[in-house]
Amino acid sequence: MHRANIVPMTHSKTSFVASTLLATAIAFTPYLAAGAENTFDKTFTVTGPNTRIELDNPSGNVDIHVGKDGQVHIHAKVTPGGWSLFGNGEKSAQEIVSNPPLEQRGDTIRIGKNSTYLKNVSIDYTIEVPKDTQLDAGLASGGLTVNRLRGPINVSTASGYTHIYQIEREVQVTAASGSVDIGTVSGYVRVSSASGSIEISDVKGDVKANAASGSIRVDRPADRVDVSSVSGSIKINGADNDVKAHVISGPISVIGNPSSNRFWELKTVSGSVDIQVPHSASFLLSAEATSGDIRTSIPVIIEEQNKHSLRAHIGTSSGRVEVHTVSGEIQVNGT
């Protein structure tokens, strides 16, 4: 039997291997410290009453709010993603800092438009704009906050939150995945979400919202409400105008007053329907529950009733409420 000779590694060989491993680790480690300092600032002068921001951001959060009149100030922080199939993130970040993806055409500021090199990086923007600004934004991954603009606001997001407040004109949002929160809007609101909750409050114009999967809540609407969800609850609080709420799987709750010739149409396939109205409300109630009870705690004049349906007058019947559920109960209570 032959014994293998084991030769101890010398100090010089050990140092060489350690140095090689260290150099390799450095070469493939993201430049986090350097990336934290990758920022740029740019100020544009605008003159017209309708400043327009056109924004595309593949990755990163965006905060847009009112600053000084006559100028748009952009502060950006670029975070590299390290080495990947898309290349060197630090190199891409430095290229962006040296050549920011910004462009001005009159009073239109384009941010991130037609930029093919925004790969393996994330850009967080803080943008100050005049109040008379309208926005057209698209975000792939990241949150968006917009505050106190005149609008209109048109937003499309793939993944991330959307918060929009104090807008004087219409707001339109399309979200693939992520929560949507909209409040205090003087114009109308349109929201479509594939997956995520929707909350809308204090809108003077009409509200239309639909969700494939997610809850919808509307508070204090001043005009008509038209909402639908495939799977998720619908809650409407303070409804004094027409209401249309449809759900395939989920409950519906509406608090308000359907009087004065208003029409409420509430339908769910699987879920309960809860209606709360003032004791002084006046409407014609038509309710049908294929499998479930129908209960009322306010005085009604029954016109027609059987085990799963009810037609009744409340007050002088100036409004109209139609409720349908296949599986679930219906309740009408006084507030």
Instruction: Report, as ranges of residue numbers, the positions in the chain whose pLDDT lies below 70.
Output: 1-36, 82-89, 114-118
pLDDT digits (tens, 9 = 90+) for 101-115: 999 999 999 999 765
pLDDT the model gives residue 114: 65
What is the CB neighbour count within 10 angstroms for residue 304? 9
What pLDDT does 129 receive? 98
Query: For the chain, first and last CA: distance in Å?
Result: 97
Domain spans, the chain: 29-156, 248-335
Q: What is the pLDDT of residue 283?
A: 95
pLDDT digits (tens, 9 = 90+) for 51-80: 999 999 999 999 999 999 999 999 999 998
Q: What are the structure tokens assigned to 130, written together?
A: 């005049």
Listed in sequence order, the residues at least 6 apart from 41 whose beta carbon sits closer than 8 Å to its beta carbon are 73, 74, 75, 76
pLDDT for 311 equals 96
What distance in Å separates the CA atoms of residue 322 and residue 95, rounded to the nearest whole number? 61
Please tell me the predicted confidence (pLDDT) of residue 115. 59
Among 171, 150, 134, residue whose Cα is nearest residue 51: 134
CA angle 72, 172, 43 (to 5 degrees): 5
HSE, CB side, 13 Å, CA atoms: give it for residue 153: 33
Structure tokens at 137: 């934004």
| 96, two tokens | 């962006």
pLDDT on residue 48: 79
d(CA 285, CA 138): 44
